[in-house]
Amino acid sequence: MSLFNRGLSKTRKSFFGRIAAMLGSSEITDEIWDDIEAILIQADLGVNTTLTLIDDLRSQGITKQEELQVALRGSLQSLLQFPPPLDVSGRELSIILVVGVNGSGKTTSIGKLAHRLMLGRRKVMLAAADTFRAAAIDQLKLWGERVGAPVIANKPNSDPAAVVYDATAAAKARGYEILIVDTAGRLHTNYNLMEELAKIRQVSGKVVPGAPHEVLLVLDGTTGQNALQQAKKFKEMIDVTGVIVTKLDGTPKGGMVFSVFNDLQLPVHYVGLGEGMDDMVLFNPEIFVKSLFDEN
């Protein structure tokens, strides 16, 4: 069983497996359409994405239930795209800003992302710009030790933008290729946090032209549509370029991934399918959709 199959088992069993089991060889009734719509919304595709999907399916003139299952897979996959490569090459130093609320798995995702990049022989440094919580600084330092990436940090409650400035200078001076910046994860309703993110962005751009080159938003897959509301707020305040969806192995509501593409118009770069170092994997839409229906 692949990592996708194993990681998406709860979503498959709870929702998409129900659709597959429900469909037989008879005619499609209005009741069947209503049932599928309800299941998709329960799987956290969201109302907009679900209605788009149902409209697409009905426009295909499908009459048999067995045809509908094949068409559903195709329509779901059409909502997704392979993510573009991260823009972290072709310059002396590339900066990745990582944002998201506390508890989303942001710092853990940074550690796993650094690990992935270092497996590709990239020189990676981390910056602890979440100075609001001492625990966040300590957690990033632990991940730095674990993956072998140096961490630039300051005292708790110090100026996050100053940490980013110092880390950028250090990365350039020591010949590092990629700097990944951890940011404070207070609730998206906190205006000061959003101003802080804007300031960090400005500082990084002054030191390295065009920085940050990627702004990755970490969303907790277990919170479903709540995560999408958070994402909209972050997108309003800072130019998010892509998404990491965490903890998909722990939720039956993996359908929220479709909403990221359809409602937010953002690519999903990585998905978290387990707690291991290598369990944050590059998003693959074909395998993702297949794993929602098939166990193997």
DSSP per residue, 90-143: SSS-EEEEEE--TTSSHHHHHHHHHHHHHHTT--EEEEEE-TT-HHHHHHHHHH
| Mean pLDDT (whole number) for 82-96 | 96
The pLDDT assigned to 2 comes to: 83
Rounded Cα distance, 63 and 60, in Å: 9
Identical fold, 3-78 and 94-285? no
pLDDT over 90 (residue 148): yes
Q: Which CATH architecture has domain 3-78?
A: Up-down Bundle (1.20)
* Amino acid 237: pLDDT: 77
| Mean pLDDT, range 156-181, rounded to an integer | 95
1 vs 139, which has greater pLDDT?
Answer: 139
- Is it the case that residue 115 has pLDDT exceeding 80? yes
pLDDT at residue number 178: 98
Domain locations along the chain: 3-78, 94-285
CATH number of 94-285: 3.40.50.300
pLDDT at 17: 81
The whole-angstrom separation of Cα 12 and Cα 295 is 8
Across 212-241, b (16+ Cβ under 10 Å) vs e yields bbbbbbbbbbbbbbebbebbeebbebbebb
> Which alpha helices (H) appear in the chain, and where do they start and end?
3-7, 9-11, 17-22, 30-42, 47-59, 65-78, 106-119, 134-147, 160-174, 191-207, 225-237, 256-262, 285-293
- Closest by CA to 279, choosing from 116, 74, 44, is 116
Provide the 3-class DSSP secondary structure of residue 283: coil
Question: What is the per-residue pLDDT across 212-238, written as a single tens digit (0 to 9) for each?
Answer: 999 999 999 998 888 888 888 888 878
Give the pLDDT confidence of 242-294 residue by residue, as tens digits.
999 999 998 888 899 999 999 999 999 999 998 899 999 999 999 999 999 88
pLDDT in tens, 173-214: 999 999 999 998 865 556 677 788 888 988 998 889 899 999
Can you tell me whether residue 26 is helix, strand or coil? coil
| Angle formed at CA 226 by CA 295 and CA 42, multiple of 5 degrees | 45
Percent of the chain with pLDDT over 70: 98
Segment 150-160 mean pLDDT: 94
